Amino acid sequence: MSTTVTFPGLGLEFEIDRVAFSIGGFNVYWYGVLIACGLLLALAFAFRHCTEFGVDGDAMVDVAFIGAVLGVICARIYYVLMSPYGFDSLWDVVNIRGGGLAIYGGVIMAVVTVAVYCKVRRQSFWNYVDVGCYGLLIGQAIGRWGNFINVEAYGGLTTLPWRMCSPSIANELMGKGLLESADVYQSILDGTVGVHPTFLYESLWNVLGFVLLVLLARKGRKFDGQIFLSYVAWYGVGRAIIEGMRTDSLYFFGTGLRT
Protein backbone atom coordinates (compact mmCIF):
# COMPACT_ATOMS: atom_id res chain seq x y z
CA MET A 1 0.00 0.00 0.00
CA SER A 2 1.43 3.38 -1.01
CA THR A 3 1.75 6.47 1.15
CA THR A 4 1.83 10.10 0.07
CA VAL A 5 4.67 12.22 1.49
CA THR A 6 5.01 15.89 0.63
CA PHE A 7 7.43 18.72 1.26
CA PRO A 8 5.04 21.65 0.61
CA GLY A 9 7.65 24.36 1.11
CA LEU A 10 9.83 22.78 -1.57
CA GLY A 11 7.00 21.84 -3.93
CA LEU A 12 7.84 18.13 -3.72
CA GLU A 13 5.41 15.22 -3.52
CA PHE A 14 6.16 11.50 -3.43
CA GLU A 15 3.93 8.48 -3.68
CA ILE A 16 5.85 5.87 -1.70
CA ASP A 17 5.38 2.13 -1.86
CA ARG A 18 7.36 0.22 0.77
CA VAL A 19 7.57 -2.82 -1.49
CA ALA A 20 10.51 -2.71 -3.91
CA PHE A 21 9.54 -5.89 -5.78
CA SER A 22 7.97 -9.31 -5.23
CA ILE A 23 9.36 -12.77 -5.88
CA GLY A 24 6.83 -15.58 -5.94
CA GLY A 25 4.45 -13.62 -3.77
CA PHE A 26 7.18 -12.69 -1.27
CA ASN A 27 7.55 -8.94 -0.87
CA VAL A 28 11.02 -7.42 -0.72
CA TYR A 29 10.91 -4.03 0.99
CA TRP A 30 12.93 -0.94 0.16
CA TYR A 31 14.02 -0.80 3.80
CA GLY A 32 15.95 -4.05 3.40
CA VAL A 33 17.20 -3.15 -0.07
CA LEU A 34 18.69 0.13 1.17
CA ILE A 35 20.31 -1.51 4.19
CA ALA A 36 21.84 -4.13 1.88
CA CYS A 37 23.09 -1.43 -0.51
CA GLY A 38 24.61 0.54 2.36
CA LEU A 39 26.32 -2.59 3.66
CA LEU A 40 27.75 -3.52 0.25
CA LEU A 41 29.07 -0.02 -0.42
CA ALA A 42 30.55 0.11 3.08
CA LEU A 43 32.37 -3.17 2.51
CA ALA A 44 33.53 -2.08 -0.94
CA PHE A 45 35.10 1.07 0.51
CA ALA A 46 36.72 -0.83 3.36
CA PHE A 47 38.27 -3.42 1.06
CA ARG A 48 39.43 -0.72 -1.36
CA HIS A 49 41.26 1.28 1.30
CA CYS A 50 42.15 -1.31 3.96
CA THR A 51 45.84 -1.51 3.00
CA GLU A 52 46.18 2.23 3.59
CA PHE A 53 45.38 1.51 7.24
CA GLY A 54 47.66 -1.50 7.53
CA VAL A 55 44.80 -4.02 7.32
CA ASP A 56 45.09 -7.12 5.12
CA GLY A 57 42.08 -7.38 2.79
CA ASP A 58 41.86 -11.18 2.90
CA ALA A 59 41.94 -11.21 6.69
CA MET A 60 39.22 -8.58 6.75
CA VAL A 61 36.69 -10.75 4.90
CA ASP A 62 35.89 -12.96 7.89
CA VAL A 63 35.50 -10.18 10.43
CA ALA A 64 33.42 -8.08 8.01
CA PHE A 65 30.99 -10.92 7.32
CA ILE A 66 30.65 -11.98 10.96
CA GLY A 67 30.41 -8.38 12.17
CA ALA A 68 27.72 -7.50 9.62
CA VAL A 69 25.50 -10.46 10.53
CA LEU A 70 25.92 -10.05 14.28
CA GLY A 71 25.56 -6.28 13.95
CA VAL A 72 22.11 -6.58 12.38
CA ILE A 73 21.03 -9.10 15.03
CA CYS A 74 22.27 -6.89 17.88
CA ALA A 75 20.71 -3.78 16.33
CA ARG A 76 17.35 -5.56 16.46
CA ILE A 77 17.88 -6.84 20.01
CA TYR A 78 18.82 -3.34 21.16
CA TYR A 79 15.68 -1.93 19.55
CA VAL A 80 13.43 -4.57 21.11
CA LEU A 81 14.90 -4.08 24.60
CA MET A 82 14.54 -0.29 24.50
CA SER A 83 11.31 -0.04 22.51
CA PRO A 84 8.21 1.24 24.31
CA TYR A 85 6.06 -0.96 22.07
CA GLY A 86 4.99 -4.47 23.00
CA PHE A 87 5.82 -7.55 20.95
CA ASP A 88 3.14 -10.21 20.92
CA SER A 89 5.17 -13.09 19.55
CA LEU A 90 8.67 -14.25 18.72
CA TRP A 91 7.93 -13.51 15.07
CA ASP A 92 7.25 -9.87 15.95
CA VAL A 93 10.62 -9.75 17.69
CA VAL A 94 12.62 -11.11 14.75
CA ASN A 95 10.64 -9.48 11.93
CA ILE A 96 12.70 -6.47 10.83
CA ARG A 97 11.04 -5.99 7.46
CA GLY A 98 8.85 -3.21 8.80
CA GLY A 99 11.74 -1.36 10.42
CA GLY A 100 13.12 -1.38 13.92
CA LEU A 101 16.93 -1.47 13.96
CA ALA A 102 18.91 0.63 16.43
CA ILE A 103 22.26 1.69 15.01
CA TYR A 104 23.93 1.81 18.43
CA GLY A 105 23.26 -1.89 18.94
CA GLY A 106 24.86 -2.63 15.59
CA VAL A 107 27.90 -0.46 16.29
CA ILE A 108 28.43 -1.99 19.73
CA MET A 109 28.39 -5.54 18.35
CA ALA A 110 30.59 -4.60 15.39
CA VAL A 111 33.22 -3.16 17.74
CA VAL A 112 33.04 -6.20 20.05
CA THR A 113 33.39 -8.54 17.06
CA VAL A 114 36.45 -6.68 15.77
CA ALA A 115 37.99 -6.62 19.26
CA VAL A 116 37.61 -10.37 19.72
CA TYR A 117 38.81 -11.13 16.19
CA CYS A 118 41.88 -8.92 16.52
CA LYS A 119 42.70 -10.43 19.91
CA VAL A 120 42.54 -13.97 18.52
CA ARG A 121 44.36 -13.18 15.26
CA ARG A 122 46.81 -10.74 16.89
CA GLN A 123 45.81 -7.91 14.60
CA SER A 124 45.66 -4.18 15.35
CA PHE A 125 42.19 -3.35 16.68
CA TRP A 126 42.64 0.38 16.06
CA ASN A 127 43.60 -0.10 12.41
CA TYR A 128 40.49 -2.18 11.80
CA VAL A 129 38.10 0.27 13.41
CA ASP A 130 39.80 3.24 11.73
CA VAL A 131 38.94 1.91 8.27
CA GLY A 132 35.67 0.36 9.43
CA CYS A 133 34.14 3.62 10.68
CA TYR A 134 34.00 4.91 7.10
CA GLY A 135 31.75 1.98 6.31
CA LEU A 136 29.54 2.86 9.26
CA LEU A 137 29.06 6.39 7.95
CA ILE A 138 28.29 5.12 4.43
CA GLY A 139 25.84 2.51 5.71
CA GLN A 140 24.08 4.94 8.05
CA ALA A 141 23.80 7.66 5.39
CA ILE A 142 22.11 5.27 2.95
CA GLY A 143 20.15 3.28 5.52
CA ARG A 144 18.37 6.40 6.84
CA TRP A 145 16.50 6.63 3.54
CA GLY A 146 14.83 3.39 4.52
CA ASN A 147 13.23 5.42 7.31
CA PHE A 148 11.94 7.84 4.68
CA ILE A 149 10.34 4.97 2.75
CA ASN A 150 8.74 3.70 5.95
CA VAL A 151 7.74 7.27 6.93
CA GLU A 152 9.42 6.99 10.32
CA ALA A 153 12.28 8.50 12.32
CA TYR A 154 10.89 12.01 11.90
CA GLY A 155 10.90 14.90 14.36
CA GLY A 156 8.46 17.28 16.00
CA LEU A 157 6.24 19.89 14.40
CA THR A 158 7.72 22.69 12.33
CA THR A 159 6.78 25.24 9.68
CA LEU A 160 10.25 25.36 8.10
CA PRO A 161 10.35 25.28 4.28
CA TRP A 162 11.67 21.70 4.27
CA ARG A 163 8.91 20.39 6.58
CA MET A 164 7.62 16.91 5.77
CA CYS A 165 3.91 16.10 5.68
CA SER A 166 1.91 12.92 5.28
CA PRO A 167 -1.50 11.60 6.38
CA SER A 168 0.29 8.69 8.06
CA ILE A 169 2.35 11.16 10.11
CA ALA A 170 -0.76 13.06 11.18
CA ASN A 171 -2.48 9.82 12.16
CA GLU A 172 0.50 8.49 14.11
CA LEU A 173 1.05 11.73 16.03
CA MET A 174 -2.66 11.93 16.83
CA GLY A 175 -2.61 8.32 18.02
CA LYS A 176 0.35 9.05 20.31
CA GLY A 177 -1.39 12.12 21.74
CA LEU A 178 1.32 14.45 20.45
CA LEU A 179 -1.03 16.89 18.72
CA GLU A 180 -2.63 19.70 20.68
CA SER A 181 -5.88 19.75 18.74
CA ALA A 182 -7.75 18.60 15.65
CA ASP A 183 -6.74 21.90 14.03
CA VAL A 184 -3.07 20.90 14.17
CA TYR A 185 -4.00 17.52 12.69
CA GLN A 186 -5.72 19.30 9.81
CA SER A 187 -2.76 21.65 9.39
CA ILE A 188 -0.50 18.67 8.74
CA LEU A 189 -2.96 17.36 6.16
CA ASP A 190 -3.10 20.82 4.56
CA GLY A 191 0.68 21.11 4.55
CA THR A 192 0.88 24.35 6.53
CA VAL A 193 2.53 22.46 9.39
CA GLY A 194 4.84 19.49 9.06
CA VAL A 195 7.56 17.64 10.92
CA HIS A 196 11.34 17.78 10.90
CA PRO A 197 12.75 15.20 8.42
CA THR A 198 15.29 14.03 10.98
CA PHE A 199 16.16 11.00 8.87
CA LEU A 200 17.48 13.51 6.29
CA TYR A 201 19.37 15.51 8.91
CA GLU A 202 21.20 12.41 10.08
CA SER A 203 21.91 11.19 6.55
CA LEU A 204 23.48 14.53 5.62
CA TRP A 205 25.40 14.64 8.90
CA ASN A 206 26.90 11.24 8.08
CA VAL A 207 27.81 12.33 4.54
CA LEU A 208 29.56 15.42 5.88
CA GLY A 209 31.32 13.34 8.52
CA PHE A 210 32.52 10.91 5.85
CA VAL A 211 34.01 13.76 3.79
CA LEU A 212 35.72 15.29 6.83
CA LEU A 213 37.23 11.97 7.93
CA VAL A 214 38.51 11.30 4.41
CA LEU A 215 40.25 14.69 4.49
CA LEU A 216 41.59 13.93 7.97
CA ALA A 217 43.09 10.64 6.79
CA ARG A 218 44.72 12.34 3.81
CA LYS A 219 46.59 14.63 6.19
CA GLY A 220 47.92 11.56 7.92
CA ARG A 221 46.81 9.89 11.13
CA LYS A 222 48.52 11.22 14.24
CA PHE A 223 47.91 7.91 16.03
CA ASP A 224 46.10 4.61 15.47
CA GLY A 225 42.46 5.00 16.40
CA GLN A 226 42.28 8.71 15.57
CA ILE A 227 39.77 8.22 12.75
CA PHE A 228 37.50 5.96 14.79
CA LEU A 229 37.50 8.23 17.83
CA SER A 230 36.78 11.20 15.55
CA TYR A 231 33.83 9.24 14.14
CA VAL A 232 32.52 8.54 17.65
CA ALA A 233 32.74 12.23 18.54
CA TRP A 234 31.24 13.47 15.26
CA TYR A 235 28.34 11.04 15.12
CA GLY A 236 27.69 11.27 18.85
CA VAL A 237 27.31 15.06 18.81
CA GLY A 238 25.12 15.04 15.73
CA ARG A 239 22.93 12.21 16.96
CA ALA A 240 22.51 13.84 20.38
CA ILE A 241 21.11 16.97 18.74
CA ILE A 242 18.96 15.15 16.17
CA GLU A 243 17.64 12.64 18.71
CA GLY A 244 16.27 15.51 20.76
CA MET A 245 14.03 16.44 17.82
CA ARG A 246 12.56 12.99 17.25
CA THR A 247 9.16 11.78 18.35
CA ASP A 248 10.02 8.06 18.31
CA SER A 249 13.12 7.92 20.49
CA LEU A 250 14.07 4.81 22.40
CA TYR A 251 14.37 5.24 26.16
CA PHE A 252 16.38 3.39 28.77
CA PHE A 253 13.96 0.80 30.17
CA GLY A 254 10.97 3.07 30.62
CA THR A 255 12.89 6.06 32.01
CA GLY A 256 12.85 9.55 30.51
CA LEU A 257 16.45 9.20 29.33
CA ARG A 258 16.84 8.80 25.57
CA THR A 259 19.24 6.04 24.60
pLDDT tens column, 247-257: 888 787 777 88
Cα separation, 197 vs 151, in Å, equals 10
Bridge-partner residues for 82, per DSSP? none
119 and 128 Cβ atoms separated by less than 8 Å: no
At 99 the pLDDT is: 66
Mean pLDDT for 117-124 is 89
Considering the chain, what is the average pLDDT of its residues? 89
pLDDT tens column, 14-54: 999 999 889 888 888 898 899 889 989 988 998 899 888 98
Phi, psi dihedral angles at 66 (to 5 degrees): -65, -45
Cα separation, 259 vs 109, in Å, equals 16
- Nearest to 217, CA basis, from 137, 140, 117: 137
Q: Can you give the pTM of this predicted structure?
A: 0.88
Cβ atoms < 10 Å from Cβ of 186: 13
